[in-house]
Amino acid sequence: MKVLLFGEYNRAQWNIKKGLEKLGHEAIVVSMRDGFKKVDVDIEIKDPYTNFTFKKLRALIIKLFGYDISAKSIKHQIKSKKQDLSGFDIVQFINEAPFDFTREDQKKIFDWLKNWNKSLFLLSCGLDYPSVAYAYNKKFRYSILTPYFENKGAKKDFSPALSYITDEHIELHKHIFKNIKGVISNDLDYHLPLIGYDKYLGMIPHAIDTSELKYSEPVIKDKVVIFHGINTYNYYKKGNDIFDDALDLIRDKFKDKAEIIVTRNLPYKEYIKSFDRAHILLDQVYAYDQGFNALEAMAKGKVVFTGAEKEWREYYNVEADTIALNALPDASSIASKLKWLIENPDELEKISKNGRKFVEEHHNYIDCAKQYLELWSNAIEDQS
């Protein structure tokens, strides 16, 4: 089977590709490189208008002439690669709108890939209409829009998310769902909003290649090391402000027992190495399940504060705070759990081992690839 994986966040589709290749299939990832993260791709789509000066120029041209030079460039690149992007059995999009320009232009790209290939699928693992609408209507107890409702940060910080519930995007969403064979989620934050959709095929957990992630037992020689890697573009949406407040509550009290490392906007390959010395990693607050970064950190033996809500615990039949630490949007709650780990370092070792085992059992990239093949094949057969 030939598979085109269109769009990338972290290594979500890259690991699916590797799993498919291990099973004897042909797969490529086509994408931009996810901003400063510089993720791996086979065919790179470049936006030449991302630096400060060119962004200003682009905005001015849009304002004066209604013409988007970035959209023009990216559309030209995709059209020029028609031969490389044609003849695939499966195309899986990582997002309903993977580019930062009008939905009308993104619809054209979707339609090109639809016309050049056979069966289209959507992977829900980031912002899209179902998940944003679910959050906006407050069906989650808390979500990435909770800071928006609490007036944290600037309104423009949330405009990318809110763009998914505009009339323009809803029209694109309907067009995509009309033309795809099905949609698949890869964690509970996207699974829950999709329940009830006719074309929802189910959840396949994030695919992780643990062979590239060496496990290190958390040996504490002097201090417990806590790592907080901040993406300033998602500062409030990830709850980094709450983690900062929690760290303030323990910093002075445990200065002899804990070391705190804070980084900002590291490329993916630097980020994954930068927390090697840490025992604890602060990932994100407004989540019910673990995202890609959290799972890779768990595979490396880190005790991760992330989404580990009761829905996740029930889905996998696990006990609270034994595999990952559920990070509630409450600084005192997070500080209390940090205090517990600093004072009970033996718990770090237990949770670390459990986390690695969990990732190996539920997120193996080859097993996940098998599940994609099964869901794709069944959906194609059912609709033929």
Domain limits, the chain: 2-207+364-382, 211-362
- In this prediction the pTM is 0.92
Same fold, 2-207+364-382 and 211-362: yes
Q: Tell me, what's the pLDDT at 51?
A: 79
Q: What is the mean pLDDT of residues 135-162?
A: 93
84: pLDDT confidence band, cut at 50, 70 and 90?
Answer: very high
Q: Are the CB atoms for 119 and 181 separated by under 8 Å?
A: yes
271: pLDDT confidence band, cut at 50, 70 and 90?
Answer: confident
pLDDT at 9 over 80: yes
Q: Tell me, what's the pLDDT at 147?
A: 95
Of 321 and 221, the one with more pLDDT? 321
Q: Tell me, what's the pLDDT at 35?
A: 53
Q: Tell me, what's the pLDDT at 341?
A: 96
* Neighbour-count burial of 8, counting CB atoms closer than 10 A to its CB (0-12 exposed, 13-18 middle, 19+ buried): buried
Burial readout 265-275 (b: 16 or more C-beta within 10 A, e: otherwise): ebebeebbeeb
> Is beta strand 182-185 parallel, antiparallel or unpaired with respect to 200-203?
parallel
Percent of the chain with pLDDT over 70: 98
151: pLDDT confidence band, cut at 50, 70 and 90?
Answer: very high
pLDDT at 88 over 60: yes
Q: Tell me, what's the pLDDT at 38?
A: 65
Q: Which of 366, 316, 3 is nearest to 209 (CA)?
A: 366
* Neighbour-count burial of 368, counting CB atoms closer than 10 A to its CB (0-12 exposed, 13-18 middle, 19+ buried): buried
State the CATH architecture for 211-362: 3-Layer(aba) Sandwich (3.40)
Q: Tell me, what's the pLDDT at 34?
A: 53
- As a whole number of angstroms, the distance between CA 29 and CA 2 comes to 12
Residue-wise pLDDT for 158-167, tens only, equals 999 999 999 9
Residue-wise pLDDT for 183-238, tens only, equals 999 999 999 999 999 999 999 999 999 998 999 999 888 899 999 988 888 899 99
Instruction: Give me the DSSP letters along 138-177.
Output: T-SSS-TTHHHHTT-S-GGGGHHHHGGGSHHHHHHHHHHH
Read off the tokens for 160. 């990318």
Q: Tell me, what's the pLDDT at 47?
A: 87
37: pLDDT confidence band, cut at 50, 70 and 90?
Answer: low
Residue-wise pLDDT for 323-372, tens only, equals 999 999 999 999 999 999 999 999 999 999 999 999 999 999 999 999 99
61: pLDDT confidence band, cut at 50, 70 and 90?
Answer: confident
CA angle 359, 363, 366 (to 5 degrees): 130
Domain 2-207+364-382 has CATH 3.40.50.2000: yes
Q: Are the CB atoms for 279 and 298 separated by under 8 Å?
A: no
321: region left, alpha or beta (phi > 0 left; psi from -120 to 50 alpha): left
Of 276 and 146, the one with more pLDDT? 146
Q: In which element (H, E) is residue 103 found? A: helix 103-116
DSSP label at 318? -
Q: Tell me, what's the pLDDT at 276?
A: 87
What does the mean pLDDT of the chain come to?
A: 93
- As a whole number of angstroms, the distance between CA 304 and CA 312 comes to 15
Of 52 and 351, the one with more pLDDT? 351
pLDDT at 30 over 70: yes
pLDDT at 93 over 90: yes
Q: Are the CB atoms for 147 and 117 separated by under 8 Å?
A: no
pLDDT at 36 over 70: no
